[in-house]
Structure 1
Amino acid sequence: ISYGASSYDLSDKWLHPSFLRTVPTNQDIIMVIIKLIQQFEWNWVAFISSDDSYSQNGLKLFRSNIKATSICLAFSYEITLNSNFTDVLKRIESLSINVIVVFTEEGTARALVKTAVKINIRDKVWIAGDAWSMDAELSTWPGIGQIGTIFGITAATQNLPEFDEFVYETRLRDENDACVNCEGIAKCSQVCDDCMRENAENIIDENPTYSFFIQAAVYTFAYALHHMLNCSMTRCNPAQDIPPYVLLKEMKTLNFLLLGRTVKYDRNGDSPVFYDVVFWRLDAQHAVFERIGTYNTYPQLTFTINNSLIGWDRVASVPFANCSAECPVGFIRQMDQNHACCFQCKMCEINTYVNYT
């Protein structure tokens, strides 16, 4: 059971019959990105990917899913840390593209966005994939506020009840418990050398995106074993051999609530999807990731955006991000042969009228 592998290819049960996951697929996040673009009626966008299967699969899914929409992919490019980011950004500028989807891993996204700050790219709309949707380093980078409006698509976070108290209690116990330094250390269940190098506040403030998915994966195994061993709240039947395929079958049938959220698996081993759309509010002393929308697939598909929470960069309304502006009265569209989103405005001929029906 994976809490982090979101490649859509893993949903293929012919290739991965015993794979389950608690994290959404990149098919899901691509659908959120498309919904967000449609929400503001943009149609002229760039898609930046990186040289990994997750990102490349995302570009493939984006191309496929926009075919049934009015969105045009004006520019796509695969970047690495060695790419000439300045050339890529200037190419986007030359095509008058104002919406940029950056669907790359975190390090590459940082390099691209920092270059945008350096060369004074302004007034763009940036849509961040989940790898950097709430990047603390980028959000406080000097000048980040000048590049435009930034949206992040992130799996809906869920705070773990009593986690703070658990961390403080565990650290205190490690400091005072002789078990930490004794030969019987294997019996200690909460000893973590890496954790001890961090103070409690750093652990508590760590990005919580995957916390729920990790807990859901552990609970899936626990519930399945609980059922198969006929456990009560205090004891289980004597240990017995459980073949892996039997355990897998049991896990696929589970349907339980965890922290108010449903955990279950469909025939592809995928879980219900809960995404947040966050707005990077950069006008305060400290950057704030503010949830301005949601995308859920359970119990039914819903997508909501609260426009009133968005502070567009240097403009009071939704920025223009289309290939062509609407024609004024007395003109008709003359469509471009290369892009369905593009057209020129041609004056209506004498004795003709525009049929708006």
Structure 2
Amino acid sequence: MTSTQRWTVGGWVLLQLLVVVSFSQAEELVCQQRGDPENPQLSKDGDIIMGGIFSFHSSWKVRQDTYMNKPLLDLGEFQCAQAMIFATEEINNSTDLLPGISLGYKVYDSCGSIARSVKVALALANGNEVVSAPTEAPCTRPAQVQAIICSNVLKCEYVTVLHIFLGGNFFFLQISHFATCACLSDKTKYPSFLRTVPSDYYQSRALAQLVKHFGWTWVGAIRSNNDYGNNGMATFTETAQQLGICLEYSVSFFRTDSSDKIKKIIDIIKASTSKVIVAFLSGMDMNLLIQVLSQHNMTGYQWVGSEGWILESQTADTDTHHILDGAIGLSIPKAHVSGMKEFILDVKQLNLSSNKIFTEVWETFFNCKFKQSNSLSENQRECTGHEDVSEVQNSYTDMSFMPIFNNIYKGVYAVAHALHNILECNETCNYKVQLDLHMVSSTLNKLYFVVKMSNNIEMYIFKCMNKIFDNIS
């Protein structure tokens, strides 16, 4: 099936998620979303709403149980959502930025699924309400949110599908803290995409230079079979060849592939003579691969990794057989945002906000169960609700993802500064200005602003990363 054919089929499936147009007995045109309404995991009302899409449930783990249980909670993704909320609350408490305007948020769980990412994005763009539709513009309404903070889950070709099938009218501003695929730099295809992280145009070349630096000229390559892996590895391969580096093999897989396909990749590695493996993989794909490599006791390889997995503490926890000992790679520069760590670790504030996800977070965080959960096993202790965060050491208390949190922080501030300019805010803001997503996007593309960093209140000028990294040839 060609790419165009695949998009066409996928496009029709996705469009079924959009709206249903129906007539009542009074012949009134009504628009509503098909299926069950999507409700946010975390939310707060405000004058202006920010959207968030994170994969709260995406962790890979072998489980010997039925499909009656919920997937495991990904505490790292939940940290990212907390970073977004921290920035929002900090802006609301500021007297200088958006005075008199309160920012709210709606944060959804994509479950690591492309289809679900699109569905919750549509919920953010359209809302769940049933509305009467004027005949001259059926099923259209003002955007529910001004921008969506998302990672790399909302795959770019699906956004293009919606853009094409809706006649170019489907537009919502995406700001990503972790989507590094160089393909997203094409503004003719992705005019509403911005990011606060460099594209893989640079990382792929830097990885080739790193391999060359150590004199490794005979290597193997493994990549995620998606835009991130395929584009990143293509650029790495091109640069490596220019530097005199040869690839013995280059294979791809996705975490949902059959065990037979992944076994073939293991066989290729075993049969190879190269001992250096360059892995352009997402964290979830790498976690799966590590489990399979551990089963075959495949140690003694030098791994070179992309930022997608090299910093993940979960990958290290999964590597019980020391498969990745000595692995090297590239990561996002270190950063520190004053007060963010304390905010993220203050899990109790979720309960005060009456967020439905509190119970699940608390039980995962402290490895206990509340009595009302009705799922307390003999080996599990009961949650009291008074557990002490300072006594726990797990992936949630690990702040190694602070550089990513900083990218989220900057993304929220970028939107706030754009809105501040559009609403002509000084001592007050002009409520009469009609916000428009194209206007917000245009303002972001030429935005400069100052953010506070570290305990020393260091100040630096931040320019939207879309302009710095994506427009350099």
* TM-score category (smaller protein): 0.5 to 0.7
Q: Does residue 1:263 correspond to 2:462, yes or no?
A: yes
Q: Tell me, what secondary structure is at the counterpart of 2:331? A: strand
Q: Does residue 1:112 correspond to 2:311, yes or no?
A: no
Per the alignment, do residues 136 and 265 of structure 1 end up closer, same or farther by CA in structure 2, a change over 3 Å counting? closer
* TM-score normalised by length of structure 2: 0.48
Q: Does residue 1:221 correspond to 2:415, yes or no?
A: yes
Per the alignment, do residues 243 and 133 of structure 1 end up closer, same or farther by CA in structure 2, a change over 3 Å counting? same
Q: Tell me, what secondary structure is at the counterpart of 1:249? A: helix
Q: Using the alignment, how far apart are the partners of 1:170 and 1:89 within structure 2? A: 41
Q: 1:245 maps to which residue? A: 438
Q: Using the alignment, how far apart are the partners of 1:192 and 1:79 within structure 2? A: 37
* Residue correspondence of structure 1 range 309-328 to structure 2 within 5 A: none
Do the aligned residues in 2 keep the contact of 1:8 with 1:26 (CA within 8 Å)?
A: yes
Q: Using the alignment, how far apart are the partners of 2:449 and 2:324 within structure 1? A: 44
Do the aligned residues in 2 keep the contact of 1:128 with 1:151 (CA within 8 Å)?
A: yes
Per the alignment, do residues 223 and 14 of structure 1 end up closer, same or farther by CA in structure 2, a change over 3 Å counting? same
Q: 1:309 maps to which residue? A: none
Q: 2:356 maps to which residue? A: 193
Q: Using the alignment, how far apart are the partners of 1:131 and 1:151 within structure 2? A: 13
User: What's the CA shift for 1:254?
Assistant: 1.3
Q: Using the alignment, how far apart are the partners of 1:140 and 1:264 within structure 2? A: 36
User: What's the CA shift for 1:7?
Assistant: 1.9
Per the alignment, do residues 226 and 146 of structure 1 end up closer, same or farther by CA in structure 2, a change over 3 Å counting? closer
Q: Tell me, what secondary structure is at the counterpart of 1:74? A: strand
Tell me which of 13, 36, 61 is aligned to 2:210. 36
Residues 43-82 of structure 1: CA distance to partner in whole angstroms, max 9, x if unpaired? 1111111322221112222222223212112210112442
* TM-score normalised by length of structure 1: 0.62
User: What's the CA shift for 1:100?
Assistant: 0.4
Q: Using the alignment, how far apart are the partners of 1:2 and 1:172 within structure 2? A: 26
Q: Using the alignment, how far apart are the partners of 1:194 and 1:74 within structure 2? A: 47
Per the alignment, do residues 64 and 167 of structure 1 end up closer, same or farther by CA in structure 2, a change over 3 Å counting? closer
Which amino acid in the other structure matches residue 404 of structure 2?
A: Y
Do the aligned residues in 1 keep the contact of 2:301 with 2:323 (CA within 8 Å)?
A: no
* Residue correspondence of structure 1 range 303-314 to structure 2 within 5 A: none
Tell me which of 252, 271, 293 is aligned to 1:94. 271
Higher helix share: 2
Q: Tell me, what secondary structure is at the counterpart of 2:438? A: helix
Residues 291-345 of structure 1: CA distance to partner in whole angstroms, max 9, x if unpaired? xxxxxxx9xxxxxxxxxxxxxxxxxxxxxxxxxxxxxxxxxxxxxxxxxxxxxxx
Q: Using the alignment, how far apart are the partners of 1:255 and 1:63 within structure 2? A: 35
Do the aligned residues in 1 keep the contact of 2:286 with 2:315 (CA within 8 Å)?
A: no
- The unaligned stretches of length 5 or more in structure 1 are 181-190, 274-297, 299-357
Q: Using the alignment, how far apart are the partners of 1:40 and 1:27 within structure 2? A: 21
User: What's the CA shift for 1:135?
Assistant: 2.9
Q: Tell me, what secondary structure is at the counterpart of 2:412? A: helix
Percent of aligned pairs with the same amino acid: 22
How many residue pairs get matched? 258
User: What's the CA shift for 1:220?
Assistant: 0.9
Q: Using the alignment, how far apart are the partners of 1:138 and 1:245 within structure 2? A: 39
Tell me which of 28, 49, 54 is aligned to 2:223. 49
Q: Using the alignment, how far apart are the partners of 1:169 and 1:100 within structure 2? A: 40
Which amino acid in the other structure matches residue 296 of structure 2?
A: I
Do the aligned residues in 2 keep the contact of 1:117 with 1:147 (CA within 8 Å)?
A: no
Do the aligned residues in 2 keep the contact of 1:3 with 1:214 (CA within 8 Å)?
A: yes
Residues 139-197 of structure 1: CA distance to partner in whole angstroms, max 9, x if unpaired? 1346533565212432224233112333466725844xxxx5xxxxxxxxxx5332453
Residues 258-280 of structure 1: CA distance to partner in whole angstroms, max 9, x if unpaired? 325653236xx35459xxxxxxx
User: What's the CA shift for 1:93?
Assistant: 4.2
User: What's the CA shift for 1:30?
Assistant: 1.1
Q: Using the alignment, how far apart are the partners of 1:121 and 1:169 within structure 2? A: 40
Tell me which of 171, 191, 214 is aligned to 1:17. 191
Per the alignment, do residues 143 and 16 of structure 1 end up closer, same or farther by CA in structure 2, a change over 3 Å counting? closer
